[in-house]
């Protein structure tokens, strides 16, 4: 879909993902904003050094679920992207813990519980909310009303943060979806919103080749 719209499309199999065995998947424990972030940055650097037709001024990043968390973490850690898309992503590691329907994942991956004094630093270490003052990238947030894994405030909060700070942001809310988009009509709307957003922030001025940002 993105390639057909003219975008160079890159998907990086970072630490924590499937494909390289269970140890590779489990390596994300205590490293949500560590190894995966480093892999993504290294992957982008490789693409930019290997394919000169890729414009470093016009990069965008998209993610859903953990990828949505990573979009928020990218917003806190780097300004190399012209725009971001965060679908049902975690913004606050602490409030997200108390609102989820699935405690096993977060306790397993972070290594504890936020109400234990000895564990609280683990939750704050890679907490995007802790670095809210560093958010600076225009972001599209997407959330489903029936997402019980990550409740609405995990998208509403960073949207409000960016809006309050005068940074462009958009929130798309599906009142009949859960953690993913399951209805055909909503899928069309989702792709329209996402493609529209990333096209808006990577456009060049007609007949000049000058990047709009």
Catalytic residues: 65, 147, 179
In Å, how far from its chain's centre is CA 40?
A: 12
Strands (E), the chain: 60-64, 83-87, 139-144, 169-174
Rounded Cα–Cα distance for residues 21 and 208 (Å): 48
- 126 burial via Cβ count (<10 Å: 0-12, 13-18, 19+): buried
SS3 content of the chain, % helix, strand, coil (to 5): 45, 10, 45
CA dihedral 16, 20, 21, 25 (to 10 degrees): 0
Rounded Cα–Cα distance for residues 16 and 195 (Å): 27
Strand partners, 6: none
């Amino acid at each position: 879909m993105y390639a057909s719209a003219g975008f160079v499309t890159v998907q990086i199999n970072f630490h924590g993902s499937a494909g390289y065995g269970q140890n590779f998947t489990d390596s994300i424990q205590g490293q949500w904003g560590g190894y995966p972030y480093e892999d993504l940055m290294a992957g982008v650097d490789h693409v930019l050094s290997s394919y000169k037709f890729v414009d470093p001024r016009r990069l965008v990043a998209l993610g859903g679920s953990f990828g949505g968390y990573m979009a928020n973490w990218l917003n806190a850690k780097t300004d190399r992207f012209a725009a971001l898309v965060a679908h049902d992503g975690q913004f606050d590691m602490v409030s997200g813990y108390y609102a989820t329907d699935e405690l096993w994942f977060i306790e397993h991956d972070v290594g504890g519980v936020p109400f234990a004094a000895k564990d609280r630093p683990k939750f704050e270490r890679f907490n995007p909310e802790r670095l809210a003052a560093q958010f600076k990238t225009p972001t599209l947030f997407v959330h489903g009303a029936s997402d019980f894994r990550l409740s609405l405030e995990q998208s509403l909060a960073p949207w409000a943060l960016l809006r309050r700070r005068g940074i462009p942001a958009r929130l798309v809310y599906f009142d009949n979806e859960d953690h993913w988009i399951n209805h055909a009509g909503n899928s069309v709307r989702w792709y329209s919103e996402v493609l529209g957003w990333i096209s808006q922030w990577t456009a060049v001025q007609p007949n000049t080749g000058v990047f709009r940002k």
